[in-house]
Copies of this chain bind each other. A is one copy, B any other.
Amino acid sequence: MQVAVLAHESFPDRAKTAVGLLRYGDHEVRAVLDRTSAGTRVTDHIPDGQDAPIVASMEAVPDVDALVIGIAPIGGEFDESWRPDVRAALERGSDILSGLHYYLADDEEFAALAEAHGGELVDLRKPPADLAVAEGTAGGVDATVVTTVGTDCSTGKMTTAYELRDAARERGLDAAVVPTGQTGVAIEGWGIVVDRVISDYAAGAVERLVETPVGMDLVVVEGQGALAHPAYSGVTTSILHGSAPDALVMCHEAGREVVHGYESFELPPLADYADLYERVAAPVSGASVAAGALNTRALDDDAAADAVAAYGDAIGAPATDPVRDGIPDDVLDAIL
């Protein structure tokens, strides 16, 4: 699929979906829309991943199958300054992929334009209508299933999932990521935003997702939240049990000691935290924390190397910073 990605006034630092699409997506990105950096190219801003021109509006975009909303503002509202571009894409007959809380399909103008020109409005946050309770069948998936789990939110679970996939592919394996959040779903063009699913069906949604890729050697499930998180642990547990993984990769941010946004709650010690994931996984699929991924973005190279080594020691498993250092062989070996 050929796509354009809307990221007005936000590329690259506040456009997580756009950057994810460029770095990890299988779609061909033909242009990024950002009126503040129009005239530059993607590689002027982020060195790895696909390159593409950055343009000011849909007028400068070549033929595409879809326009993807590549930014997720707080609250998930639709910014009216994007309307002319969405309108222009629909008038060309393109689809629109959006992970906003605001459902584009409920917008009367967009719905009418999609109807008139044959495009589709795909609201990625809306769960399928036919979800059901998990049947406990995910353990039967032939592929090796690895779920990324975290010590907190925003510790790199999605990035780690994609880096593991890419490392497996470099080794010649067939590998896929199972997306469970808005950015991953936008990158893949399929998946379910599990935190929007009613609690009763959350594990069932994950079970369906993990059973979707066929013919894979490795399936990496993107985890969400954290097991010790006062608000999101239910989502985490549903993914942990619904995906019935063979192994876990625990993602942590160097130096984080309390739950972000809930600072009165301390993270458990890292060894205990890994142990807790294993104990909760055990009754369903018996996965161990086979590797660790450490986000060291706040550290310099020397401190990062020390932190990765200390993290591996703490959890008793090979570790890496997947963004800084990629996925070394010992980490990939540990999960396969």
Contacts and interface: CB of A to CB of B under 8 A. Distances in A.
A163 B131 CA distance: 35
A247 B259 CA distance: 23
Nearest to A273: B283
Interface in A240-287: 240-242, 244, 259, 262, 264-268, 276, 279-280, 282-284
A199 B233 CA distance: 9
Interface in A26-53: none
A217 to B, nearest CB: 24
B230 A134 contact: yes
Interface stretch (A109-117, A190-198, A303-311): A190-198
Interface stretch (A57-65, A77-85, A200-208, A319-327): A200-208
Copies in the complex: 2
Interface residues of A, number: 43
B268 A276 contact: no
Contact of A231 (B194, B198, B204, B240): B204
B232 A203 contact: yes
B233 A238 contact: yes
B196 A231 contact: no
Contact of A228 (B195, B262, B283): B283
A213 interface: no
B283 A266 contact: yes
A316 interface: no
Contacts of A216: none
Interface in A84-127: none
A136 B265 contact: yes
A127 to B, nearest CB: 8
A234 interface: yes
A235 interface: yes
11 contacts: A135-B262, A136-B265, A195-B198, A196-B200, A199-B199, A199-B234, A203-B230, A228-B284, A229-B241, A230-B242, A230-B244
